[in-house]
Amino acid sequence: MTASGGNGAVPLFQIEGLHVSVDGKEILKGVDLTVRQGEVHAIMGPNGSGKSTLANAIMGHPKYQVTRGDIRYLGQSVLGLKSDERARRGFFLAFQYPTAIPGVTMVNFLRHALNAVRGHEVPVKDFRNLLRDKMTMLKVDRSFSARYVNEGFSGGEKKRAEMLQMAVLEPRLAVLDETDSGLDIDALKTVAEGINTLLNPALGIMLITHYQRLLNYVKPQFVHVLVQGRIVKSGGPELALELEAQGYDWILKEVAALPQEASR
């Protein structure tokens, strides 16, 4: 099943028939997805459905072995590219559980990340101007840049730090893996505001989430349900509302009722 909007131009990002194994166990069993520039796609599903596996496979994590299918960016396969090479092409992954890096300030971390992604040294003055502008845009206090990366950060601050990284790096494809995980309602609204601020016609976003609540604030054009390693249903924002009201049981029953060959 492939779902997206628009046609004609080469899509920003395509997954075709993707099968992924971890430690010899197949997790993804034929995922198809197309994301075009300016689109927001929500990937939903119960625990163990393969959502985080999909995110890590997209970014080229070596533990996640692609056994069949392809991942294409602007029409070209990226399967032969390492994670850092994909990042330089414009990929960005926001982690479900960001790691603390004691002793490394946000400003130094962001400068080194930007240099690595751009492939050259960004002049200090240019970087500081860029960082100042992005912090102003996201309403982040200047003192934030002097703190050590994620050390002592609240859940909301960790996710805000990732929004700042995204703003500085200016990716073309952003995969946000359960960025709403562990957030209270105020932190959720703040992070959602950051995502909405960064939306632009050149950016494609994949929002991976269990719950509809994030989608109250960040509106996707497309919602996909991942179950047992496959996208089994796609629709518009109304699908997320249906999942919120009814849970996943009705979809699991639909999948169980399919003939074996139809679920492959």
Q: Which two tokens stand for residue 141?
A: 């206090």
What domains are there in the chain, each with its CATH number? Answer: 13-98+171-263 (3.40.50.300)
The pLDDT of residue 82 is above 90:
yes
pLDDT tens across 38-62, in order?
999 999 998 889 999 999 999 999 9
Rounded CA-CA distance 29/32 in Å is 10
- Maximum average pLDDT range among 172-181, 186-195, 219-228: 219-228
Rounded CA-CA distance 78/42 in Å is 22
Q: How much is the pLDDT for 8?
A: 56
The pLDDT of residue 220 is above 70:
yes
Neighbours of 157 (CB within 10 A): 17
User: pTM of the entire structure?
Assistant: 0.90
Neighbours of 16 (CB within 10 A): 16
Per-residue pLDDT band at 260 (split at 50, 70, 90) = low
Rounded CA-CA distance 163/93 in Å is 11
The pLDDT of residue 6 is above 60:
no
Rounded CA-CA distance 74/130 in Å is 27
Per-residue pLDDT band at 2 (split at 50, 70, 90) = very low
Q: How much is the pLDDT for 1?
A: 43
pLDDT tens across 107-152, in order?
999 999 999 999 999 999 999 999 999 999 999 999 999 999 999 9
The pLDDT of residue 167 is above 90:
yes
Rounded CA-CA distance 218/220 in Å is 6
- Tokens 């751009």 locate to 118
Q: How much is the pLDDT for 208?
A: 94
Q: How much is the pLDDT for 239?
A: 94
DSSP string, the chain: ----S--SSPPSEEEEEEEEEETTEEEEEEEEEEE-TT-EEEEE--TTSSHHHHHHHHHT-TTEEEEEEEEEETTEE-TTS-HHHHHHHTEEEE-SSPPPEEEEEHHHHHHHHHHHHHTSPPPHHHHHHHHHHHHHHTT--GGGGGSEETTT--HHHHHHHHHHHHHHH--SEEEEESTTTT--HHHHHHHHHHHHHH--TT-EEEEEES-SGGGGTS--SEEEEEETTEEEEEESHHHHHHHHHH-SHHHHHHHHHS-GGGG-
Residue 49 burial class via C-beta count within 10 angstroms: exposed 0-12, middle 13-18, buried 19 and up = buried
